Structure 1
Amino acid sequence: MAEIKVVTIGRHYCSGGSDIGKLVAEKLGVKCYDREIVEMAAKRSGISMEEIKKYEESVLNPLKTPITLFGKPKEDITETIFAAETEVVMELAAKEKCVIVGRCADFILKNKVKTLNVFVYSSFEKRMETAMTKHHIAPEEVESRLKKYDKKRADYYNANTNKKWGEKSSYDICLDSGKLGLELCADIIAHTVKTVK
């Protein structure tokens, strides 16, 4: 049987998923792609990083479509970004073994290459603590920020895939980073990649 070529990591906001992705990549001697995919997609789509950041700051609302001067809706920026990110993810997976954080990569790569699809989660309390200590989010803002970003990720994933974000049946492995710690999560993922054929 074919060996696992790509590890995809979905994650709760402030659960350490991005850091785990980097650790897994180091352990496997491959590259980890996270924000780099957005940058590549921005170049490909012609949408500036500034525009993408603005879009990422807002909670997605599929009913809000930009209107041009002539009253005709422009193509939804979400669709444009998703199409560009899909192309980038497919090219990276075809080219090399790697770790991809977010970007609906588990869905995009289904039946294309052999993947290990992971979801990293943690308790709300633990994530609040991480948000305040690591990301310096003010205590009075932390709860709403976590809920906002979780909702944004869920909306984006659910709108672009036929699966449900964070639901265990959507993934091969679900890991509680708050209980296990980042290093052990990365060890479990890397060990799985090396042993599952």
Structure 2
Amino acid sequence: MSIDVQGVIQALSRAVEVSPGDKGHTLYPVITISRDLGTGGEEISRLLAERLGLDIYDENIIDAIAQRSEVNKNVLKTLHEKVSSASDSWLYAMVTGKNVSRTDYINALVTVIRCIYHKGGIVIGRGGHVVLQGRDVLRVRLTGSNEACARRVAHRERLSLSEAKARCKEVNQERAKFVWNMFGSRLNDPTNFDLTINTDHFAHYEQVVEILLRSMEMMGFSQRRTGMTSR
């Protein structure tokens, strides 16, 4: 997939240049989605984005923004200064095209996710629920049994059930390891999320989306942030 990194960066920059209190400015909802493989996370995110009119920022897009060097330095500098502390040093390593250190990458990742918070959108993975902890976002964890998740993966990727189970285990371990290594947070800790849903017994992902929309209303997102729409 070709990613217009500079286009995304510029869109985020424009978003944070506008104060949330400015007249006529719409503060769109923010949802973070943490998901096990085979729980329908991508499909649920897509359906939710359509209902709310939001952009989706998956791990590939976030990584591309954080790591690729062919972006405009002035735009990045403006963006960085508006949402991050002066002590962060990731910018210079990123724009020079050199390999960034772990610390540089974490700082870049945090900055990008904070920018998305100002713009609104759905953040899939990459520890978004940790970065935006304590803010007015809905932090969702999608999980399921190994059997049910493996059946979905086997059907989608044309694998045997045993192969799909092994793949689910491997991917889930990688995702948990990433969050632990980056933020020292355990992915399966339920206290890190506002809502955890086991998708095993939902016949349609639209049902999960309805739960998320209703939860946002009950938690007051429609009052704190505008832009929510209903079917």
TM tier relative to shorter chain: 0.7 to 0.9
Q: Name the SS of the counterpart of 2:140 in structure 1.
A: strand
Equivalent residue for 1:83? 107
**Aligned with 1:185 (options 192, 208, 215):** 208
Check 1:131–1:196 CA distance in 2 against 1; reply closer, same or farther (3 A cut): same
Q: Which runs of 5+ in 1 are unaligned?
A: 47-73
> Cα distance 1:97–1:124, how it changes in 2: closer, same or farther (>3 A)?
same
- Residues 10 and 119 in structure 1, CA contact (< 8 A), matched pair in contact too: yes
Question: For the residues of structure 2 that align with 1:161 and 1:26, how far apart are their CA atoms?
Answer: 30
Deviations 1:34-74 (A, max 9, x none): 1322222232599xxxxxxxxxxxxxxxxxxxxxxxxxxx8
- Equivalent position amino acid for 2:40 in 1: G
Among all aligned residue pairs of Structure 1 and Structure 2, give the percentage whose two residues are the same amino acid.
Answer: 20
Query: How do residues 18-97 of structure 1 correspond to structure 2 at under 5 angstroms?
Result: 18-34=42-58, 35-44=60-69, 76=101, 79-94=103-118, 96-97=119-120
**5 Å matches for 1:154-165?**
154-165=176-187
C-alpha contact 2:28 2:121 (8 A) present in aligned 1 = no
> Residue 101 of structure 1 is aligned with which of 124, 136, 146?
124
Equivalent position SS for 1:100: strand
Any gaps of 5 or more consecutive residues in structure 2? 1-26, 72-98, 221-231
- Classify 1:114/1:131 alpha carbon distance in 2 versus 1 (closer, same or farther; 3 Å): same
Query: Does 2:44 match 1:13?
Result: no
Report what 2:141 is aligned to. Answer: 119
**Counterpart in 2 of 1:141?**
163
Please give the alpha-carbon distance, in whole angstroms, between the structure 2 residues aligned to 1:86 and 1:16: 25
Measure, in 2, the Cα distance between the counterparts of 1:79 and 1:186: 35
Q: Which has the larger radius of gyration?
A: 2
Structure 2 length-normalised TM:
0.63
What is the aligned-residue RMSD (CA, Å)?
Answer: 2.4
Normalised to the residue count of structure 1, the TM-score between the two structures is 0.73
Once the two structures are superposed, what CA deviation does each residue of 1:71-129 show, in whole Å capped at 9, x if it has no partner? xxx865x55544332222111112x2211111101111224x31111100111111111
> In the superposition, relative to structure 1, how do residues 83 and 136 fare at CA in structure 2: closer, same or farther (>3 Å)?
farther
Question: What amino acid does structure 2 have at the position aligned with 1:38?
Answer: D
Q: Is the 8 A contact 1:4 1:196 kept in 2?
A: no
Q: Comparing both chains, which one has the higher relative contact order based on Cα–Cα distances under 8 Å and sequence gaps of 6 or more?
A: 1
| Residue 199 of structure 2 corresponds to residue 174 of structure 1 | no
Supply the distance in 2 between the matched residues of 1:28 and 1:100 (Cα, whole angstroms). 14
Q: d(CA) in 1 for partners of 2:48 and 2:104?
A: 30
Classify 1:123/1:116 alpha carbon distance in 2 versus 1 (closer, same or farther; 3 Å). Answer: same
Q: Secondary structure of 1:174's match? A: strand
Q: 1:14 is paired with a residue of what secondary structure?
A: coil
